Amino acid sequence: MAPAATPTQRKDVDPVEDPAGRARFDELITADQRVEPTDWMPDAYRKTLVRQVSQHAHSEIIGMQPEGNWITRAPSLKRKAILMAKVQDEAGHGLYLYSAAQTLGVTRDRMTEDLISGKAKYSSIFNYPTPTWADMGSIGWLVDGAAICNQVPLCRASYGPYARAMVRICKEESFHQRQGFEILLHLSRGTKEQHEMAQESVNRWYAPALMMFGPPDADSPNSAQSMAWNIKRFSNDDLRQRFVDMIVPQAEVLGLTLPDPDLKWNEERGHYDYGELDWNEFSEVLKGRGPANAIRLERRRQAHEGGAWVREAAAAYAERRRAMAEKASAEKVQAA
């Protein structure tokens, strides 16, 4: 028998074409079953997943910052606790996803390097700044709302570790959107200044949230392959439509308007029509020319590099303890 790989690891990083493995893989995908780390998989499948899962992880980690920005200033102790718990969840979700990506043969260190060097991408939504408290509401309601639309189908993604991470994440995130909605509801029904704060924030976040689903299907070259592999279950435009249909009635409950003059119910389609999105801006922000890109990466870099001495200390301590234990057991053997 071949030396065993642990269940969390792939046996080979660069799999050679293996006809039996290929057949087995195709069989799993056709049967809508899960692919596990130790299964043979096409290199393109692995690469697509590494890219998607690590980008997803980076998004969680970078996504901590725009909200973390308000932890120290949250306007009530209850909101402070909620916000802390939410940002903490995002760290946890990043960790679950890094672990899932790691089963595909890439270390977290590598992924972190790629992030702070600017090589890796993350969701461009987090390159927008959060100047007001109402942005905590908009992020929860719109950004997390869009994320949930995206993520629920990912719980059935064909790659087992990714799907499992998403199940845990979706369970935990169920409060994220609601708390954002509540923040906006309180603002909208509050003083005049609070209402204005809420409306101004929703005006800024609406379009970027819609763009979180990615470019229109016609301009999304990788989508078809991802759908064929059962990584992606619905097209960008389908998910975007689902999201728009969800938030329009919610905005009415909030007493806030959505900044889109073309937004109206289409009886024939049974959906809301919405206006053209500015994809130029999207691609600019994605390329890192968003207002907060440099700030986000710099903060991540500082935390990582600034913490190096701590990580080294813990590793050195573990090594020292291991050496001491070894020595003690050697002495014991000698004594016996």
Contacts to another protein from residues 77-116, by CB under 8 A: 77-81, 84-85, 87-89, 91-92, 94-96, 98-99, 102-109
Nearest to another protein of 121, 299 (CB atom): 299
- Please state the closest distance from residue 9 (CB atom) to another protein, in A: 3
- Please state the closest distance from residue 241 (CB atom) to another protein, in A: 24
- Please state the closest distance from residue 265 (CB atom) to another protein, in A: 32
Per-residue binding letters, 266-305, with another protein (x by CB under 8 A): ---------------------------------x--xx--
239, burial (CB in 10 Å: exposed 0-12, middle 13-18, buried 19+): buried
- Residue from 121, 186, 271, 301 touching another protein (CB under 8 A): that is 186
Nearest to another protein of 50, 263 (CB atom): 50
- Please state the closest distance from residue 321 (CB atom) to another protein, in A: 7
By CB under 8 A, is residue 143 in contact with another protein? no
- Residue from 309, 332, 335, 336 touching another protein (CB under 8 A): that is 309
- Residue 42: φ, ψ to 5°: -60, 145
By CB under 8 A, is residue 52 in contact with another protein? no
Per-residue binding letters, 3-42, with another protein (x by CB under 8 A): xxxxxxxxx-x----------------------xxxx---
- Residue from 294, 316, 328, 330 touching another protein (CB under 8 A): that is 316
Please give the size of the binding site for another protein, defined by CB under 8 A: 85
- Please state the closest distance from residue 313 (CB atom) to another protein, in A: 3
Nearest to another protein of 73, 264 (CB atom): 73
3-state secondary structure the chain: CCCCCCCCCCCCCCCCCCHHHHHHHHHHHHCCCCECCCCCCCHHHHHHHHHHHHHHHHHHHHCHHHHHCCHHHCCCHHHHHHHHHHHHHHHHHHHHHHHHHHCCCCCHHHHHHHHHCCCCCCCHHHHCCCCCCHHHHHHHHHHHHHHHHHHHHHCCCCEHHHHHHHHHHHHHHHHHHHHHHHHHHHHHCCCHHHHHHHHHHHHHHHHHHHHCCCCCHHHCCCHHHHHHCCCCCCCHHHHHHHHHHHHHHHHHHHCCCCCCCCCEEECCCCEEECCCCCHHHHHHHHHHHCCCHHHHHHHHHHHHHHCHHHHHHHHHHHHHHHHHHHHHHHHHHHHC
Encoded tokens for 244: 């728009």
By CB under 8 A, is residue 1 in contact with another protein? yes
By CB under 8 A, is residue 335 in contact with another protein? no
- Residue from 54, 55, 59, 65 touching another protein (CB under 8 A): that is 65
By CB under 8 A, is residue 180 in contact with another protein? no
- Residue from 17, 193, 267, 276 touching another protein (CB under 8 A): that is 193
- Residue from 267, 269, 306, 334 touching another protein (CB under 8 A): that is 306
Q: Is 143 in contact with 212 (CB distance < 8 Å)?
A: yes
| Stretch of 70-78, 214-222, 227-235, 254-262 lying at the interface with another protein (CB under 8 A) | 70-78
Compute CA 233 distance to the chain's CA centroid, rounded to the nearest angstrom.
17
